[in-house]
Amino acid sequence: MRIPTDSLVLVTDGRKRLFFRNQGGADTLNLVVVGAAEDANPETRRHVTDSQGRASSPVSGGGALPSADAHEVEASRFAAETADELRRGALANEYQDLILVAPPQTLGQLRKSLHPEVEKRMRREIAKDVTGHPVPEIEKMLTGLE
């Protein structure tokens, strides 16, 4: 895969985001970290301290109400925050080309919040979780894609 010089590459997983700038050539990547953030999103059981509520109905007889997955809510918030950061960068003309690398679920959450200016600059979406990989492995993975 060819990634133009000075492209912005976002690698995220819903809890962590890494912004890279390609300071190499289109075929010889040199990804340099230009920004990073990590969300302290603990397991759902740490978010939720109360037990599920119960409903009482003369028809159904009652039962447990579904609980919101606090971990999912936090992951959605983090994705919206990431999309907003991309929006600010696009509107400030800080990048022309964007490569987005994230697991499928995170990509879906991000797509919901992407600004049209960000979408115009997006060159490729890659549905893969590589946030825990070292930079040389990420570069190798990106250059190996067609």
What is the per-residue pLDDT for 144? 86
| 34, 68 contact by CB (below 8 A) | no
Residue ranges covered by each domain of the chain: 8-41+69-143
CATH number of 8-41+69-143: 3.30.420.60
Cβ-count burial of 34 within 10 angstroms (0-12 exposed, 13-18 middle, 19+ buried)? middle
Which amino acid, one-letter code, is at 123?
A: R
To the question of pTM greater than 0.85 for the whole model, the response is: no
Position 92 pLDDT exceeds 80: yes
| Predicted confidence (pLDDT) per residue in 40-77, tens digit | 755 555 545 555 555 455 555 555 555 556 767 888 88
Which residues are registered as beta bridge partners of 21? 8, 32
Angle between helices 70-91 and 104-113 (to 10 degrees): 60
Contact 130, 137 (CB under 8 A): yes
